[in-house]
Amino acid sequence: MNTTPALKAIHITKYFYEPERFQVLKDLSFEVRKGEFLSLTGKSGSGKSTLLYVLSTMDTDYEGELLIGGEKLTGKTQNQLAAFRNEHIGFVFQFHYLLPEFNVLDNVMLPALKLKKKSRAEIKEKAYGHLKLLGLEDQALKPANKLSGGQQQRVAIARALINDPSIIMGDEPTGNLDSRNTSIVFDIFRSLSHSQGQTIITVTHDEDFARNSDRIIDMSDGVITG
């Protein structure tokens, strides 16, 4: 049995330097298990979004070490990290960032076409499968901007899944959704985690969302308080 954690943060420390030097993350160490659904919570300014961007490898200006799937990512070049992200991390943001000039299916396929590990036909079949899983198969050929906000966020989840990522990271993934669509997105995440072993890390202000996830890391002033 492979017991390598999905993600390991070791003594993560980060400073902002404008307008003056300020320590925003203070010696954070923790692990995330494979298949765990983790919520990062805390008031605005607590450091949770900054931490997510460090964990996602998009912010490399930190002290400490970051490992994903046992691979040390600290010290890699920006090109190496970009390639790693595309293959191993799926992103779901508060704003879905779908390309409005593309239809739903093409939006979902894009990261896999960029990765170039499967044929276009294979990617198309897989994208249809994810859309079916999320109840959107009948919307596949619609322009992305013709869908409702809740539907667009589900498309963003399908896109995040297309390369079979090690981890899905969400930055306020339900922040723009009403309570019904928030519940739908939560149920999708929980099902992905519990039924398919998908590791999920989300930043959220939604107390119900966080409370129903597997684990909460609560932050205050750059430290983990719970």
Query: Of 52, 53, 65, 90, which is closest to residue 217 (Cα–Cα)?
Result: 52
Name the CA dihedral angle for 164, 10, 174, 81, rounded to a multiple of 10 degrees: -50
Per the structure block, which two tokens stand in for 18?
A: 């404008």
Round to whole Å and give the CA distance between 177 and 204: 12
Q: What is the pLDDT of residue 150?
A: 84
Are the CB atoms for 94 and 148 separated by under 8 Å? Answer: no
Are the CB atoms for 47 and 222 separated by under 8 Å? Answer: yes
Q: What is the pLDDT of residue 2?
A: 56
Query: If you classify domain 35-60+77-224 with CATH, what class do you get?
Result: alpha beta
> pLDDT tens across 121-168, in order?
999 999 998 898 888 888 899 988 888 888 888 899 899 889 888 899
Residue environment code for 182-197, b if the CB has 16+ CB neighbours within 10 A, otherwise e: bbbbbebbeebbeeee
- Mean pLDDT of all residues in the chain? 90
Q: What is the mean pLDDT of residues 197-208?
A: 92
Q: What is the pLDDT of residue 142?
A: 92
Which band of pLDDT confidence, cut at 50, 70 and 90, is reported for residue 175?
A: confident
Domain extent listing, the chain:
35-60+77-224
Q: What is the mean pLDDT of residues 7-33?
A: 93
Q: Say what the pTM is.
A: 0.89
Contacting residues for 154 by C-beta, under 8 A, at least 6 apart:
134, 135, 136, 184, 185, 188
